């Protein structure tokens, strides 16, 4: 039997006869949306109230925590203790530090208080201190033992930092308020970061390919992160790195070669004829599976085996497998092992980049 429903729209009028007034829209939540508002909003009382809350989450080191609602006030000792307990403080992971810095810069540029600029400057100084001599950034600073100290491209952590520092060094809006000394530091940090990117691009059979999600901070060799994140070529993080290199105004021959190598690898690593499907198993649980579909758009794996370049999948047991179905349900559904991350880069960004720089095959 198929049951259908029809939706009837009506206006509620209380018994008193007074027309119902809908509640005010919910206050904006913390996230990337705070960076994409109309310019006039950043001078509003709502934006300044949010900025005041963001200030309270800045650590003595100058950084911000990840996975935290920076609009939640008041900032009690309990909230700060929870941040410390979960190990979320002082990081560039998941947009932490770079997102609040960009937000504070916009509020200050719109006519905000000096303390927003001062907090931004402390954030800049934090990023300068956190950079390794070799040009990379760890996931957390001050440094922690384990993979947290690896040079981290995972989830665009390092690319987010470099993009921010590039904009600061070039004096782009809304960063014109940054003094010349810090702009110079930002340009130098970006130069060293690009050098690190070029040094860590993996070569196979003498050809440049892609990047790993993290590297040992001393040897610059591909490194493990979490139990299911092995040293491997990344079909996700390599996209952000390539796009960042393509945004360099005057690319050197080395940068051009790096981009061309990455594009060639992404094209060669595309997987045709399959799609990732969500379904409900016989146990009633939501699940994911790979199904054949000749009409499906190209898809890429998150991890490609170093050398063989085969898609690989790991669960929490760290055992390498070659099919998504072979890892446990929790990881199969809790991590992005497949995606279409390179699609726009290959179809739109790369052709525009070649045309802009008049590159010929």
Provide the Cα torsion 170, 172, 175, 179; round to 10°: 30
Burial of 360 from C-beta contacts in 10 A (0-12 / 13-18 / 19+): exposed
**Residue tagged 């720089």 (tokens):** 357
pLDDT given at position 360? 66
Residue 357 lies in a domain: no
Among the listed residues 94, 154, 160, 236, the single catalytic one is 94
Residue 270 lies in a domain: yes
**Residue tagged 């055992």 (tokens):** 319
**Catalytic residue check, 94:** yes
Alpha helices by DSSP H, listed for the chain, are 45-57, 77-85, 98-109, 114-130, 157-169, 180-200, 237-246, 253-269, 329-334, 343-344, 350-356
**Residue tagged 């146990």 (tokens):** 283
Residue 17 lies in a domain: no
Between vectors from CA 140 to CA 174 and to CA 235, what angle results, nearest 5°? 80
What does the buried/exposed string (b/e) look like for 342-353 if buried means 16 or more CB atoms within 10 Å of the residue's CB? bbebbeebbeeb
The CA radius of gyration of the chain, in Å to the nearest whole number, is 23
Rounded to two decimals, the pTM is 0.91
Residue 304 phi/psi, 5-degree rounding, is -120, 130
Could you tell me how many residues make up the chain?
A: 361
Rounded Cα gap, residues 349 and 328, in angstroms: 36
Which domain range does residue 125 map to? 32-350
Residue 8 lies in a domain: no
Cis preceding-peptide flag for 50 (omega within 30 of 0):
no
pLDDT tens track of the chain, all 361 residues? Answer: 333 333 333 233 333 344 434 334 456 889 999 999 999 999 999 999 999 999 999 999 999 999 999 999 988 999 999 999 999 999 999 999 999 999 999 999 999 899 999 999 999 999 999 999 999 999 999 999 999 999 999 999 999 999 999 999 999 999 999 999 999 999 999 999 999 999 999 999 999 999 999 999 999 999 999 999 999 999 999 999 999 999 999 999 999 999 999 999 999 999 999 999 999 999 999 999 999 999 999 999 999 999 999 999 999 999 999 999 999 999 999 999 999 999 999 999 999 999 999 876 6
How many structural domains compose the chain? 1
Residue 132 lies in a domain: yes
Cβ neighbours of residue 189 under 8 Å, at least 6 residues apart? 127, 128, 131, 162, 165, 169
Among the listed residues 122, 226, 289, 310, the single catalytic one is 226
Cis preceding-peptide flag for 142 (omega within 30 of 0):
yes
Reduced to 3 states (helix: H, G, I; strand: E, B; else coil), residue 300 is: strand
Residue 116 lies in a domain: yes
CATH number at residue 247: 1.50.10.20
DSSP 327: S
Residue 15 lies in a domain: no
Rounded Cα gap, residues 146 and 134, in angstroms: 19
Residue 11 lies in a domain: no
Sign of CA dihedral 345, 162, 234, 274: negative
């Amino acid at each position: 039997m198929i049951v259908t429903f029809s939706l009837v729209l009506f206006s509620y009028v209380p018994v008193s006869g007074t027309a119902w007034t809908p509640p005010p829209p919910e206050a904006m939540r913390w996230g990337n949306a705070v960076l994409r508002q109309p310019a006039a909003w950043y001078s509003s009382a709502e934006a300044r109230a949010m900025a005041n809350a963001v200030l309270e989450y800045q650590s003595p080191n100058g950084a911000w925590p990840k996975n935290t609602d920076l609009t939640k006030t008041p900032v009690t000792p309990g909230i700060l203790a929870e941040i410390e307990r979960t190990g979320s403080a002082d990081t560039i992971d998941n947009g932490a530090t770079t997102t609040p810095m960009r937000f504070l810069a916009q509020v200050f540029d719109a006519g905000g208080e000096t303390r927003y600029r001062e907090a931004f400057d402390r954030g800049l100084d934090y990023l300068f201190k956190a950079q390794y001599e070799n040009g990379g950034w760890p996931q957390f600073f001050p440094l922690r033992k384990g993979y947290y100290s690896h040079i981290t491209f995972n989830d665009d952590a390092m690319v987010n930092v470099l993009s921010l520092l590039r904009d600061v060094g070039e004096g782009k809006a809304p960063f014109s308020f940054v003094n010349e000394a810090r702009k110079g530091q930002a340009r130098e940090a970006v130069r060293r970061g690009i050098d690190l990117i070029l040094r860590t691009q993996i070569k196979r059979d003498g050809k440049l390919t892609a990047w790993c999600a993290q590297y040992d901070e001393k040897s610059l060799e591909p490194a493990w992160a979490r139990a299911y994140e092995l040293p491997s070529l990344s079909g996700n993080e390599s996209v952000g790195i390539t796009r960042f290199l393509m945004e360099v105004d005057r690319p050197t021959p080395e940068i051009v070669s790096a981009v061309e190598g990455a594009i060639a690898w992404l094209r060669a690593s595309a997987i045709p004829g399959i799609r990732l499907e969500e379904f409900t198993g016989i146990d009633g649980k939501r699940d994911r599976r790979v199904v054949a579909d000749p009409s499906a758009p190209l898809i890429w794996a998150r991890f490609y085996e170093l050398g063989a370049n085969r898609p690989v999948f790991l669960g929490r047991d760290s055992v390498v497998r070659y099919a998504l179905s072979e890892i446990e349900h929790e990881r199969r559904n809790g991590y992005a092992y497949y995606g279409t991350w390179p699609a726009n880069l290959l179809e739109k960004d790369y052709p525009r980049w070649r045309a802009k720089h008049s590159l010929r095959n």
